[in-house]
Amino acid sequence: MDFLLERLEGKGLTGKIAAIHGGLPYQARDKQVAFFRDPHGARILAATDAAGEGINLQFCWLLVNYDIPWNPARLEQRMGRVHRYKQEHDVLLLNLVSHDTREGRVLKTLLEKLEAIRRELGNDKVYDIIGQQFTGKPLTELIFEAVVEGKEAQAQREFARLSKEQVERLLAEQVRKVEVSQVRNLLSALQAQREVAEVRRMMPAYVRRFFQWAAPRVGAGIRGDIEGLFWLDPCPPSVQRC
């Protein structure tokens, strides 16, 4: 990000760039977003993945991913800052890769495959599931092996096998897990409510039993309906003080 800031300022944008990184407290991040939102403020917001969550940028519609993460699910987090409720424009997303490197070739193949499936399904959530495993290996491990260990062809074959049907199945499984989790949370809440209700239902019986047991021992008498409205008569001074 420091490199980008230097280059952008060298292009005459000094004082027109907002910046967010992990070293900024949340209050300072909010000020940078406000500076970017101001029509007379910043023209560009440069950010690390620290801006991937917790900020709303639906007032802009151009996102440039200068550094592509090896886990494309983080791309979805970045897009979610811009492509969100109250966005009034078509969002333009640019992913920059170095095409003549192992990393660039692998990521270019993967991103092109994902974009083709996204267009076919009409579902942006394709990026949510792509971080899951390919034939038993996490995506990040496949990319690491391709870039560092030279297993580029193996990764390319894995990505080529990625199909619309596979993505649909993974998306459906994700929805099912969410639904199961929601049902489990609902059942837990209902169980907690039931336990509270049971305690409250039992409390009057405990109170009656306590007074029936304790009253004779402190010289108190019980008048009225022990199952309904009752009072202590006589009522010892020690109990009256309580």
Strand spans (E) along the chain:
17-20, 44-47, 62-65, 92-95, 222-224, 230-232
Residue 194, domain member (yes or no): yes
CATH code where residue 40 lies = 3.40.50.300
Examine the domain organization and report whether 237 and 131 are in the same domain.
no
Nearest-angstrom CA–CA distance, 68 and 134: 19
d(CA 137, CA 71): 13
Is residue 175 situated within a structural domain? no
Distance from C-alpha of 30 to C-alpha of 55, rounded to nearest angstrom? 8
- On whether both 28 and 93 belong to a single domain, the answer is yes
Would 177 be classed as within a structural domain?
no
In terms of domains, do 127 and 48 share one?
yes
Phi, psi of 227, deg, nearest 5? -90, -5
Same structural domain, 216 and 118 = no
In a domain, 170, yes or no: no
Would 227 be classed as within a structural domain? yes
pLDDT in tens, 28-47: 999 999 999 999 999 999 99
Q: Find out whether 62 and 92 touch, Cβ atoms under 8 Å.
A: yes
- For residues 40-66, average pLDDT: 91
Per-residue pLDDT at 201:
61
Q: What is the largest CA-CA distance in the chain?
A: 97
Q: What is the pLDDT averaged over residues 55-75? A: 85
Q: How far apart are CA 25 and CA 22, in angstroms?
A: 8
Dist CA 63 CA 59 (whole Å): 12
Answer yes or no: is 125 within a domain: yes
The average confidence (pLDDT) of the chain is 80
- Cα 31 from Cα 63, distance rounded (Å): 20
pLDDT in tens, 125-158: 666 666 554 656 777 788 888 888 888 888 888 7
Question: Which pLDDT band, with edges at 50, 70 and 90, does 54 fall under?
Answer: confident
Q: How many separate domains does the chain show?
A: 2
Inter-residue contact 78 to 127 (CB < 8 Å) = no
Domain that holds residue 95: 2-163
Is residue 150 in a domain? yes
